[in-house]
């Protein structure tokens, strides 16, 4: 019998014989890595470039149901499409492509793909949202007619590039719905297809809370609509609404897509226009969401680092496929205000302005080529003065600005100055996409101390009076505006602008000069005016210079201002009505008839503590 120790020695010797030497280990590792790279390359080549080889599957139309038989103009039509035959990847247009050619009454042809769709039943469980699949998934085509008359919808289904079935459906569009149509630019302002003005009053509502999800928007949109708000910004973030995130790259999350369907339809019902941000910067930041990004090679994607997203051909092709899906699903909506490619793209890892500008130009061109409704296209930056190359060269429709304190103590002045700079520098319309008294969500941010919402008040009135096509959009919707119930600020501004026409107004800055009178010397008058005017109308916001969010939370005591004469130059001789409005209630409080002579209109500003607004209306030449 062998000693136990001898047996272990023999095992050790055998292990030495069977264990490869270090060079052999390295060689095997190199070979393994080679095959991994080769297989990954072949996968992307076939999956996203050439399509998987194989014979076409005999796909045919089984059932087609039309939601509206005789729609009016701007009334959305949906076709629910069920197929005979099965497919393994409904998101790969190389394997299956259900698409349409829509022939309009004027002979123009639109190509609009259908999209793969799963319906859900929404339930409330423990005050949170629960979604349960309802029925089997199918294909859906959405179309919003823009003309009266006879249309023809030709449906086609392709399997691996080969046409396997087609159907033609007539569609008669009669009369006009109550929908004002899609949003267009007219000068520096917005107008709907029916010619009605659209001035945006709103805020960011970028994502839902963890448990309530779409239930949040039932509450937020209701309160916004009750207070005259008509704009919201939404992110397609990893934690809310992102359709290409939870699964592998090129596969879309039907549950999140349904949630966005729901929110967009709710926005339409409430008269709210949505700017849809497609990518938040954290998706391309190693310290934030990059590890979970399906474009990351670690998750089976094509990229080894975030900055390659802007230059890698495969990544760009994949993003174009996502754009195709988003257009097919959401472009129908007249209340989709704009596609916003990025939130604060300058915060992505290893930001390269040239590469990012080229990417935006390429994607904007592609998006416009597939979006028949021609929605507006933009992007955004964290730095107020960032993005010069992109704004100048990428063909985007309007510029944006994001700006935060706590370093910015006087938001009104900062917002007004940046709006004027953007308009002058780029010759494009502009919108203040984000602002706030404090960018932080940690270490006791200062906006919690501003219980009256002075920061909101500053931002929306300064932006209105500086030439933006919407109010500056506050960021902290869920932890500040809603809990503090600060929506009333927006309602007052909505009442003030109710009868003002912005589209085609040709507004310019309202110039003014303070003039001594027997009541007060101008050197003792601590007020300033922000305003706009044209030949027959002017409006202004008069503010106590000490009235800002920082002084409000610092308990600075305000002294009354006013009773000073203000001279407005370049007013034609005639009679004018000067109206004073309360900026917190939206009520006209006082009016007087004045005459202009020698190209001058002089009015005494009444005494006030915080701020007032006014209108100057020509009533007689």
**What is the mean pLDDT of the segment spanning 589-613?**
96
pLDDT over 90 at 49, yes or no: no
pLDDT over 60 at 97, yes or no: yes
Q: Say whether both 20 and 93 belong to one domain.
A: no
Q: What is the pLDDT of residue 26?
A: 60
pLDDT over 90 at 52, yes or no: no
- How many angstroms separate the first and last alpha carbons of the chain? 125
Q: Say whether both 259 and 342 belong to one domain.
A: yes
In a domain, 179, yes or no: no
**Model pLDDT for residues 499-512, shown as the tens digit of each residue:** 999 998 999 999 99
Q: What is the pLDDT of residue 55?
A: 82
pLDDT band at 22 (very low <50, low <70, confident <90, very high): very low
In a domain, 121, yes or no: yes
In a domain, 577, yes or no: yes
Q: Say whether both 70 and 45 belong to one domain.
A: no
Q: What is the pLDDT of residue 41?
A: 47
Residues 58-62: contacts with CB within 8 Å, 24+ apart? 58/84, 58/85, 58/159, 58/164, 59/83, 59/84, 59/85, 59/87, 59/96, 59/157, 59/159, 59/164, 59/165, 60/84, 60/85, 60/157, 60/164, 60/165, 61/155, 61/157, 61/165, 61/167
In a domain, 55, yes or no: no
**CATH number where 395 lies:** 3.20.20.80
**What tokens were used for 278?**
């497609």
Q: Say whether both 303 and 364 belong to one domain.
A: yes
In a domain, 77, yes or no: yes
Q: Say whether both 282 and 208 belong to one domain.
A: yes
Q: Say whether both 513 and 549 belong to one domain.
A: yes
Q: Say whether both 164 and 267 belong to one domain.
A: no
Structural domain ending residue among the three candidates 444, 471, 496: 496
**What is the mean pLDDT of the segment spanning 127-144?**
98
Q: Residue 549: which domain range?
A: 508-620
pLDDT over 80 at 89, yes or no: yes
pLDDT over 50 at 50, yes or no: no
Q: Say whether both 463 and 539 belong to one domain.
A: no
CA-wise closest residue to 542 among 519, 561, 523: 561
Q: For CA atoms 514, 520, 522, 525, give the dihedral sign.
A: negative
**What tokens were used for 44?**
């992307």
**Model pLDDT for residues 388-434, shown as the tens digit of each residue:** 999 999 999 999 999 999 999 999 999 999 999 999 999 999 999 99
Tell me the average pLDDT of the chain: 92
**What tokens were used for 258?**
């349904």
- Please report which helix (H) or strand (E) contains residue 317, including its range: helix 313-330
**What is the mean pLDDT of the segment spanning 565-588?**
97
**What is the mean pLDDT of the segment spanning 580-608?**
96
Q: What is the pLDDT of residue 32?
A: 52
Counting residues of the chain whose pLDDT is more than 90, the rounded percentage is 89
Are 590 and 580 a contacting pair, CB within 8 Å? yes
Counting residues of the chain whose pLDDT is more than 70, the rounded percentage is 91
pLDDT over 80 at 297, yes or no: yes
Give residues with Cβ within 8 angstroms of 19, minimum separation 6. none
Q: What is the pLDDT of residue 522?
A: 79
Q: Say whether both 34 and 64 belong to one domain.
A: no
**Model pLDDT for residues 433-480, shown as the tens digit of each residue:** 999 999 999 999 999 999 999 999 999 999 999 999 999 999 999 999
Answer whether the bond into residue 406 is a cis peptide, omega within 30°. yes
**CATH number where 100 lies:** 2.60.40.10
Structural domain ending residue among the three candidates 30, 50, 70: 50
Are 179 and 334 a contacting pair, CB within 8 Å? yes
**What is the mean pLDDT of the segment spanning 338-347?**
98
Question: How many other C-beta atoms lie within 10 A of the C-beta of residue 97?
Answer: 17
Structural domain ending residue among the three candidates 449, 476, 496: 496
Q: Say whether both 198 and 120 belong to one domain.
A: no
CA distance 203 to 397: 20
In a domain, 355, yes or no: yes
In a domain, 189, yes or no: yes
Q: What is the pLDDT of residue 37?
A: 43
**What is the mean pLDDT of the segment spanning 147-158?**
98
Q: How many domains does the chain have?
A: 4
**What is the mean pLDDT of the segment spanning 250-275?**
98
In a domain, 483, yes or no: yes
Q: Say whether both 516 and 586 belong to one domain.
A: yes
**CATH number where 563 lies:** 2.60.40.1180
**What is the mean pLDDT of the segment spanning 318-331?**
98
Q: Say whether both 65 and 46 belong to one domain.
A: no
């Amino acid at each position: 019998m062998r000693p136990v120790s001898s047996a272990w020695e023999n095992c050790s010797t055998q292990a030495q014989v069977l264990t490869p030497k270090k060079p052999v280990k390295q060689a095997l590792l190199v070979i393994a890595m080679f095959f991994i790279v080769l297989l990954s390359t072949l996968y992307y080549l076939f999956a996203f470039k050439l399509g998987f080889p194989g014979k076409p599957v005999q796909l045919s139309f089984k059932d087609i149901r039309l939601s509206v038989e005789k729609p009016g103009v701007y009334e959305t039509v949906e076709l629910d499409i069920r197929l005979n035959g099965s497919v393994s990847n409904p998101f790969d247009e190389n394997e299956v492509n259900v698409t349409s050619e829509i022939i309009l009454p004027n002979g123009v042809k639109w190509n609009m793909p259908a999209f793969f769709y799963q319906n859900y039943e929404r339930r409330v469980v423990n005050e949170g949202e629960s979604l349960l699949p309802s029925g089997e998934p199918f294909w859906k085509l959405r179309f919003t007619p823009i003309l009266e008359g006879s249309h023809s919808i030709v449906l086609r289904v392709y399997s691996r590039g080969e046409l396997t079935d087609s159907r033609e459906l007539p569609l008669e569009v009669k009369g006009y719905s109550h929908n004002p149509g899609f949003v267009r630019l007219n000068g520096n302002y917005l107008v709907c297809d029916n010619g009605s003005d659209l001035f945006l009053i709103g805020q960011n509502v970028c994502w839902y809370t963890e448990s309530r999800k779409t239930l949040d928007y039932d509450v937020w949109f209701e309160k916004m609509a009750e207070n005259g708000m008509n704009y919201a910004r939404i992110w397609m973030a990893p934690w809310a609404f992102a359709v290409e995130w939870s699964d592998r790259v090129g596969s879309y999350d039907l549950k999140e897509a349904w949630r966005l369907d729901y929110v967009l339809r709710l926005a339409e019902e409430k008269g709210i226009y949505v700017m849809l941000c497609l990518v938040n910067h954290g998706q391309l930041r190693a310290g934030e969401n990059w590890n979970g990004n399906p474009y990351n090679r670690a998750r089976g994607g094509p990229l080894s680092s975030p900055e390659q997203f802007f230059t890698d051909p495969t990544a760009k092709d994949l993003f174009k496929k996502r754009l195709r899906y988003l257009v097919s699903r959401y472009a129908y909506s007249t209340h989709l205000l704009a596609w916003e490619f990025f939130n604060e793209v300058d915060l992505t890892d290893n930001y390269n302005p040239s590469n990012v500008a080229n990417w935006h130009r390429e994607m904007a061109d592609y998006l416009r080529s597939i979006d028949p409704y021609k929605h507006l296209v933009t992007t955004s930056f964290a730095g107020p003065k960032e993005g010069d190359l992109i704004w100048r060269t990428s063909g985007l429709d309007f510029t944006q600005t994001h700006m935060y304190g706590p370093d910015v103590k006087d938001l009104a002045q900062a917002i007004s100055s940046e709006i004027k700079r953007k308009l002058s520098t780029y010759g494009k319309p502009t919108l203040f996409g984000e602002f706030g008294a404090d960018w932080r969500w940690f270490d006791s941010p200062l906006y919690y101390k501003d219980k009256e919402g002075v920061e909101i008040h500053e931002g929306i009135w300064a932006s209105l009076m500086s030439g933006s096509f919407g109010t500056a959009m506050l960021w902290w919707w869920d932890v500040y505006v809603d809990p503090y119930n600060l929506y009333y600020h927006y309602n007052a501004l909505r009442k003030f602008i109710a009868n003002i026409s912005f589209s085609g107004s040709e507004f310019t800055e309202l110039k003014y000069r303070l003039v001594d009178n027997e009541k007060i010397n101008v050197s003792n008058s601590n007020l300033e005016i922000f305003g706009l005017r044209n030949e027959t109308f002017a409006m202004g916001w008069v503010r106590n210079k000490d009235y800002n969010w920082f002084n409000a939370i610092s308990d600075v005591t305000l002294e009354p201002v006013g009773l000073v004469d203000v001279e407005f130059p370049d007013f034609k001789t005639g009679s004018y009505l000067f109206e004073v409005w309360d900026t917190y209630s939206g009520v006209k409080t006082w009016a007087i008839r004045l005459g202009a002579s020698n190209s001058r209109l002089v009015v005494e500003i009444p005494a006030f503590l915080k701020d007032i607004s006014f209108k100057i209306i020509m009533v007689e030449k």
